[in-house]
Structure formats: C-alpha cells, structure tokens
Amino acid sequence: MWDLKILIVYSWGKIEMKNNNNMKNDRYPEGYLPKIAYHIFKGNDEKVNYFIERQEAQYGEMGIEEMTKIGQKIKDLCFEFETGLHEAQAWMKRNMTAA
C-alpha cells in the first residue's frame, strides 16, 4: 500500500490531511465489527477471535463504543432472523394447509 503515514489531499479548494490507515480500509467503513457480530450470532468462536484480532491490529483496542455497536448489530441480526422465521412459518401455514 502507501508508504506514507499521512496523505495530503487537495479537494474543493482546501487541503485535507487524511490518515493513510483509514484510506486503505474504505472497503470496511465500520472495520470488522459487522463480521464480529455476525460470527457471534452464528456461534463461530474461531472466526470471532480472528476478526477481533484483525480489528484490534488495524484500529486499536476495542472500547465500549465498539462493543455497543457489536451488540446493536447482533440485536439487528436476531430481529432479522425472527422476522424471517415468522414470514417462513406464515408462508408454510398459508401454502401447506391445502396439501
């Protein structure tokens, strides 16, 4: 990647300084937090540990803010799962009663 720690960018008539570490991770704007939450939800302990190590190596030690985001993402996944489960059960009830 870039050898420079700080990259100076000229945009819209002003100079901005951007930390190069953030620029190379535009692919993961929230870091690895969504992946950590997903694998906690799925019960994949090995993947959880792997992505926690990646998160901390790239962004530093996780604090309460990151843990709160992970908790919210797990809550969202649970809601999506429950909603999908209810929709599937309703579909089966509608379509399987005739059989």
**What pLDDT tens digit does each residue of the chain (99 aa) get?**
343 333 333 334 444 444 445 444 567 788 999 999 999 999 999 999 999 999 999 999 999 999 999 999 999 999 888 888 888 888 888 888 655
Tokens of 67: 């843990």
Give the span between the Cα atoms of 71 and 40, in whole angstroms.
Answer: 10
Q: What is the pLDDT of residue 99?
A: 53
pTM, two decimal places: 0.62
Across the chain, where does the E strand assignment appear? 6-11, 14-19
Q: Quick one: 47 and 86 in the same domain?
A: yes
- Alpha carbon distance, N-terminus to C-terminus of the chain: 60
Q: What is the pLDDT of residue 81?
A: 87
Tokens of 40: 């906690």
Q: Quick one: 85 and 42 in the same domain?
A: yes
- Count of structural domains within the chain: 2
Residue 3 DSSP code: S
**19 burial level (CB within 10 Å; 0-12, 13-18, 19+):** exposed
Q: Quick one: 21 and 62 in the same domain?
A: no
Q: Quick one: 23 and 42 in the same domain?
A: no
Give the structural domain span for 74.
31-96
Q: Quick one: 41 and 25 in the same domain?
A: no
